[in-house]
Chain A
Amino acid sequence: MSEAWTTVLARDVKPGDRVRMAHGSELIATRIEPNFFGMPMLAFIEDTPERWFKQPAPEDMEVEVLR
């Protein structure tokens, strides 16, 4: 079975998902921070030996994930 990108709401992203944002940037969500800046937003954090990168998203925004 081949892997395929699927569209989910940001609130349904799980740690370990590869996430692709609408503007095209990708990251592995190794951690998910709730209430980013005290707003109804999440922040996906890729924290790997190769890269640390943080990308916030509204909880109800559609993103693509690869699981």
Chain B
Amino acid sequence: MAIKDLEVKANDGSPARLSDYDGKALLVVNVASKCGLTPQYAALEELHQRFGARGFEVLGFPCNQFGGQEPGSAEEIAEFCTTEYDVTFPLFEKIDVNGAQQHPLYAELTQAADDNGEAGEVQWNFEKFLVSPDGSIVGRFRPRLEPDAPELVAAIEAVLPE
């Protein structure tokens, strides 16, 4: 199934589709509020601001599978992101990104390999998948790579529609 045909839920529980972002480049990130990597929210928001007008969106999917570092409710997560990091990019309902209850979106995303040729399970919070405007998964970036790393920024610029 194509990535953009998949159903997701917004962080308020309302149904949504990735096709809502048709024609845009997407950076899909599993996020957590109590992780050592949580400050990456700031650089993710900067990417969202920097490239948003050129057809780019960051999509955040909270996940509590890594050290239990995303324990809060949807409301608590949204409030944290807004108050601590001024996040304006879309946040979705908390999901599983690995395992038997893996969300179909991540069943697709985790088939993509990183630069070392490794596909499979998400390693930790803040793994990043770059999806091109046509819905192809064109990049996978591991959690410790900062969102403003030159290789990630270059990959985004290479797929921007405008």
A residues with a Cβ closer than 8 A to B are 25, 37, 47-56
Contacts and interface: CB of A to CB of B under 8 A. Distances in A.
A54 B100 contact: no
Contacts, number: 29
Contacts of B123: 37
A52 B96 contact: yes
Contacts of B65: 52-54
Instruction: Please classify how large the interface on chain B is, using the bins under 10, 10 to 19, 20 to 34, 35 or more.
Output: 10 to 19
A47 B101 CA distance: 10
A49 B100 contact: yes
Contact of B98 (A37, A52, A56): A52
Chain B binding surface SS class: loop
Interface string B97-112: 0111110000000000
B144 A54 contact: no
Nearest to B125: A54
Nearest to B102: A52
Nearest to A53: B65
13 contacts: A37-B123, A47-B99, A47-B100, A48-B100, A51-B99, A52-B96, A52-B100, A53-B65, A53-B68, A54-B65, A54-B67, A55-B67, A55-B68
Contacts of A54: 65-67, 98, 124
Nearest to A51: B99
A64 B102 CA distance: 29
A52 B30 CA distance: 15
B71 to A, nearest CB: 10
Contacts of A52: 65, 96, 98-102
A17 B145 CA distance: 32
